[in-house]
Structure 1
Amino acid sequence: MSGHDHSHERWKHDGVRVIKGDQLDPNTAQTPGMFRQAAINHARVGAQKIWAGTVAIEPNAKTGVHHHGALESVIYVVSGRARMRWGERLEYVAEAGPGDFIFVPPYVPHQEINADPDQPLQCVLVRSDNEAVVVNITDVEPVEAPEEVYWVDPIHTRPEG
């Protein structure tokens, strides 16, 4: 029975953690016009395989072209309008609004943009590793008019146009 009691005590300190929204850690990589805060990482909760946090992006702000190595990323749009450009020459573009999820596969060159000139963009970010991998790509010559690619799934189909 003492083994069970010991397990109970271990879970008390090493079990579920709640990170309050007003206790996020701004000590993370920053980009001009963007404010990132970590909620879940190794330093804060001992996470081994995931990073999660928030980003607030000022109107019309954008990142440089980059990728995140072998990491997978998920972006959940809380409020505002996100525009993603991706591809070797940022030839593809799609937008997402509140309640939408964006998936960025490993090694995909992309650029994150606040598509609204007047409102901040608020997002939740989740990455598949605790390490912050960002590979900046400086030699991309973006195409002038990116091809619009609709995010489709079995429920949502390409809009008729």
Structure 2
Amino acid sequence: MSESPSPHEIRWQHDGVRVVGADRLDANTAQTPGMDRKAAINFARVGAQRLWAGTVHIHANAKTGAHHHGPLESVIYVIKGRARMRWGERLEFTAEAGPGDFIYVPPFVPHQEINASRDEVLECVLVRSSGEAVAINLDIEPVEKPETVRWVDPTHPNG
């Protein structure tokens, strides 16, 4: 005779580890010209309470305006292309990242995200410490002015 699964086994079976396959990413997120975003991990998809993770494909030459993400921490992992980040009170600091590199953006740090290539898509994985889209646009003149296509999404509503 086989035993019935215990309530704990049933709970873990449905509420335990989740695998979201690459072909199961959710493109039903805010999409705008210049950026293609797909959610993998969020509250709606897997019940994540304190994370959002997904993929972001940023079109060539896309740039945000100056902003910060309030109390959120962000991690960007570059898969393909070249990312340029500017940060500081006047966006006076700069660094670039390529495939295999991680970028960490601490809470409240003024920054500007840039696809450093004029002709290649930048492919990244983005992880945030909250499922909420928080972006505070700043009245700082960006060092690299947004041109061609602004990087606009729920966390960058004004580019």
Q: TM-score normalized by structure 1?
A: 0.82
SS at match of 2:94: strand
The answer on 1:109 being equivalent to 2:139 is no
Q: 1:132-143 to 2 correspondence within 5 Å?
A: 132-137=133-138, 139-143=139-143
2:45 matched to which residue of 1? 44
| Matched-pair contact (CA < 8 Å) for 1:40–1:53 | yes
C-alpha distance in 2, partners of 1:33/1:17?
30
Amino-acid identity (%): 72
For structure 1, list consecutive stretches of 5 or more residues without a partner in the other structure.
Answer: 145-161
CA offset digits 1:69-124 (Å, max 9, x no partner) = 10000000001000001112111110000000000000111111110112100000
Contact 1:31–1:63 under 8 Å retained in 2? no
Q: In 1, are the aligned partners of 2:86 and 2:93 still within 8 Å (CA)?
A: yes
Unpaired segments ≥5 residues, structure 2: 145-159
Would the aligned equivalents of 1:91 and 1:142 in 2 still touch at CA under 8 Å?
Answer: no
In the alignment, the residues of structure 1 paired with residue 6 and residue 44 of structure 2 have an alpha-carbon distance, to the nearest angstrom, of 28
Distance 2:107 2:31 in 1: 21
The yes-or-no answer on 1:70 pairing with 2:61 is: no
CA-atom RMSD in angstroms: 1.9
Number of residue equivalences: 142
Counterpart amino acid of residue 141 in structure 1: E
Pairwise mapping of residues 1-161 of structure 1 onto structure 2 (< 5 A)? Answer: 5-137=6-138, 139-143=139-143
Structure 1 CA distance, aligned partners of 2:63 and 2:119? 14
How far off is 1:32 after superposition? 3.4
Offset of 1:31 from its aligned partner?
4.9
- Normalising by structure 2, what TM-score? 0.83
Which of the pair has the greater relative contact order for Cα pairs under 8 Å at 6+ separation? 2
C-alpha change, 1:67 and 1:32, in structure 2 (3 Å) is farther
Moved over 4 A (4+): none
